């Protein structure tokens, strides 16, 4: 099967991701940080990718990272199913939850969108409109 030929890069990528996670967990435990170790692992990988000598690590992680991110949702099905356990609590507070989640969602969305649009527009103008901005120029 041709799939087998893809296996080594996938495994290598997974090893890099797990090592970054382990390093993050170790750092969080050693320094008693209140931050989840996986998040520190994420930051470590960003730093590794931004520095030239270690940038190759993120390229090697890509074959495992891309499918994991594509099917990220699959990993949340088991905890999501747990809602049957919480259904009663959820139903009892349905209205406040809907208002809090819906309200904070809608207001944050519009506010963040308008704010960033205004800031980016100002930034692009200051840099001169001729190709100064990022690749989102064609948007307006």
Among positions 88-117, residues that touch other proteins (CB under 8 A) are 89-90, 93, 95-97, 99-117
Q: Residues 6 or more apart from 36 whose CB is under 8 A from it?
A: 28
Asked if residue 49 lies in contact with residue 57, where contact means CB atoms within 8 angstroms, the answer is yes
| Contacts with other proteins, 21-50, as mask; x by CB under 8 A | x--x---------xxx-xx-xxx-xx--xx
Number of residues that bind other proteins (CB under 8 A): 78
List 9, 10, 12, 58, residue binding other proteins (CB under 8 A): 58
63 near other proteins (CB under 8 A) = no
- Smallest separation, CB 70 to other proteins (Å): 9
Q: Spell out the long-range contacts of 50-58 with Cβ–Cβ below 8 A and sequence spacing 24 or more.
A: 57/16
61 near other proteins (CB under 8 A) = yes
List 51, 76, 130, 131, residue binding other proteins (CB under 8 A): 76
86 near other proteins (CB under 8 A) = yes
Euclidean distance between CA atoms 91 and 86, whole angstroms: 9
Asked if residue 36 lies in contact with residue 16, where contact means CB atoms within 8 angstroms, the answer is no
Comparing CA positions, the residue from 107, 23, 7 lying closest to residue 64 is: 7
Count the neighbouring beta carbons within 10 Å of the beta carbon of residue 47.
10
List 11, 29, 51, 80, residue binding other proteins (CB under 8 A): 80
Q: Which residues in the 5-24 window bind other proteins by CB under 8 A?
A: 14, 17-18, 20-21, 24
């Amino acid at each position: 099967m041709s799939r087998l030929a893809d296996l080594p890069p996938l495994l290598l990528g997974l090893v890099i991701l797990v090592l970054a996670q382990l390093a993050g967990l170790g750092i969080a435990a050693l320094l008693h940080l209140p931050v989840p170790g996986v998040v520190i692992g994420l930051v470590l990988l960003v730093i590794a990718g931004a520095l030239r000598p270690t940038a190759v690590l993120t390229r090697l992680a890509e074959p495992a990272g891309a499918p994991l991110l594509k099917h990220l949702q699959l990993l949340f099905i088991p905890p999501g199913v747990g809602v049957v356990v919480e259904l009663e609590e959820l139903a009892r507070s349905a209205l406040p939850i809907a208002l809090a989640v819906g309200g904070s969602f809608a207001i944050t969305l519009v506010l963040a969108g308008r704010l960033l649009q205004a800031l980016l527009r100002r930034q692009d103008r200051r840099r001169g409109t001729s190709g100064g901005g990022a690749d989102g120029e064609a948007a307006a």
